[in-house]
Amino acid sequence: MNRPRAQPPSPIDDILPVPTLDKWLGSPELSFSIWIDHQAPKPSTRIVKMAMWKNFLKWMKGHEHTLASITFENLNSFLKEEKIIKAHRSRYLRMIERVYVLLIDLGLPMRENPGSLALKGRDKTWINDRTVFLEREEKEKIEKVIQERLRMYGGAEKKIEKEGKGRKKQTWLLIRDAAIAAVMLCGGATVGALSSLSVNCTNCTEGRIALPKEGGGTYESVLLPLGDTAITAWKRLRRHRVGIGDQLFPADLKSRGDNEVDTAGMHPSTIFRAVRSVLRDAGITGKRACGATLRNTYAGQLIDLGFDDLAIQEMMGFKEPLSAVRLRTAYLEGSDEESEAIEASIKERYAVA
Q: What is the pLDDT of residues 26-37, one digit of tens each?
A: 999 999 999 988
pLDDT score recorded for residue 323:
79
> Among 39-53, 197-211, 291-305, which range has the highest average pLDDT?
291-305
| Each residue's pLDDT tens digit, 161-184 | 454 444 444 777 888 899 999 999
| Each residue's pLDDT tens digit, 115-165 | 888 877 643 443 344 678 998 899 999 999 999 998 876 554 455 445 444
**What confidence tier does 216 reach under pLDDT thresholds 50, 70, 90?**
confident
| Pairwise CA distance, residues 69 & 103, whole Å | 12
Q: Does the pLDDT value for residue 99 go beyond 80?
A: yes
CB count within 10 Å of CB 33 equals 17
pLDDT score recorded for residue 195:
85
Question: Which DSSP state fits 288?
Answer: G
CA distances from 167 to 100, 154, 156, 193, 252 (A): 68, 15, 12, 28, 14
AA letter at 276: R
pLDDT score recorded for residue 117:
84
Q: Does the pLDDT value for residue 82 go beyond 80?
A: yes
pLDDT score recorded for residue 56:
93
pLDDT score recorded for residue 192:
86
| Pairwise CA distance, residues 99 & 115, whole Å | 9
What is the rounded average pLDDT of the residues 275-296?
Answer: 92
**What confidence tier does 41 reach under pLDDT thresholds 50, 70, 90?**
confident
Question: Which DSSP state fits 251?
Answer: S
Percent of the chain with pLDDT over 70: 75
**What confidence tier does 284 reach under pLDDT thresholds 50, 70, 90?**
very high
| Each residue's pLDDT tens digit, 311-345 | 999 999 988 777 788 788 778 764 444 445 555 55
| Pairwise CA distance, residues 203 & 185, whole Å | 18
pLDDT score recorded for residue 350:
52
Q: Does the pLDDT value for residue 15 go beyond 60?
A: no
**What confidence tier does 297 reach under pLDDT thresholds 50, 70, 90?**
very high
Instruction: Tell me the sheet residues that pair with 265.
Output: 250
pLDDT score recorded for residue 336:
42
More confident residue, 198 or 276: 276
| Pairwise CA distance, residues 124 & 227, whole Å | 39
Q: Does the pLDDT value for residue 260 go beyond 60?
A: no
Q: What is the pLDDT of the chain when averaged over all its residues?
A: 78
H helix intervals, 153-290: 156-162, 165-187, 191-194, 225-241, 268-281
pLDDT score recorded for residue 121:
66
Percent of the chain with pLDDT over 90: 32
* 0.85 surpassed by pTM: no
What is the rounded average pLDDT of the residues 239-260?
Answer: 61
Q: How many CA atoms lie within 13 A of 160 on its CB side?
A: 20
Q: Does the pLDDT value for residue 247 go beyond 90?
A: no
What is the rounded average pLDDT of the residues 182-200?
Answer: 89
> Are 126 and 59 in contact, with CB atoms under 8 Å apart?
no
